[in-house]
Amino acid sequence: MTPAQSSALVLSPEQFLQHWQGHRGLTRRVIDAFPDDKLFTYSVGNMRPFSTLAMEFVGMGVPTLNGVITKEWKSYAAPEAKTKADILKLWDETTAEINTLWPTIPPARFQEVDKAFGQWEMTIYALLLYVVDNEIHHRGQGYVYLRSLGVEPPPFYER
């Protein structure tokens, strides 16, 4: 690594937020692409239905950001949702909360190491990437559910 490169700006906090919300917008379209009942009942290979995965994402986002900002990691449970409309409502509330919380992350936090929720010790930027990557990973699983249901999923490259 040259010294010049190691001080390079890869992406700004604002660009990271845009990256995350771009993926969240795509996940919202994937949730919406499921037939209402299949969202809660369908899976392949004995895996979890997409409603459960979507609620995992809802359960991770704001609690993780709160921990990043306050250094207090409160245990959380994903709220209950019984219909697609419930999930989409929680999704949109989360979107707004993330946008409000993000600019309050102390700038030095991205490079600090912390033990998230008392369990996962890692640098904060890696924790935030993990939250995004976990969503991409499980959403990829949702694409297979949709395809095997004969439903065309939204294009992956559209954010």
DSSP one-letter code for 152:
P
**Residue 77 binds a second copy, judged by CB under 8 A:** no
Give me the least distance between CB of 7 and a second copy, in Å please: 7
CB within 8 Å of 48: residues ≥ 6 apart: none
Binding region for a second copy (CB under 8 A) out of 10-18, 57-65, 68-76, 81-89 = 10-18
Residues 6+ apart with CB under 8 A from 158: 26
Pick from 75, 77, 118, 157 the residue near a second copy by CB under 8 A. 157
**Rounded-to-10 torsion of CA 157, 96, 141, 116:** 120
Among 28, 78, 125, 131, binds a second copy (CB under 8 A): 125
The closest alpha carbon to 110, from 98, 123, 120, belongs to 123
88 lies in the site for a second copy, by CB under 8 A: no
Question: Does the protein bind a second copy through residue 35 (CB under 8 A)?
Answer: no
Instruction: Single out the residue of 72, 77, 80, 107 in contact with a second copy (rule: CB under 8 A).
Output: 107
CB of 32 to a second copy, least distance (A): 18
- Tell me the C-alpha distance between 130 and 145, whole Å: 23
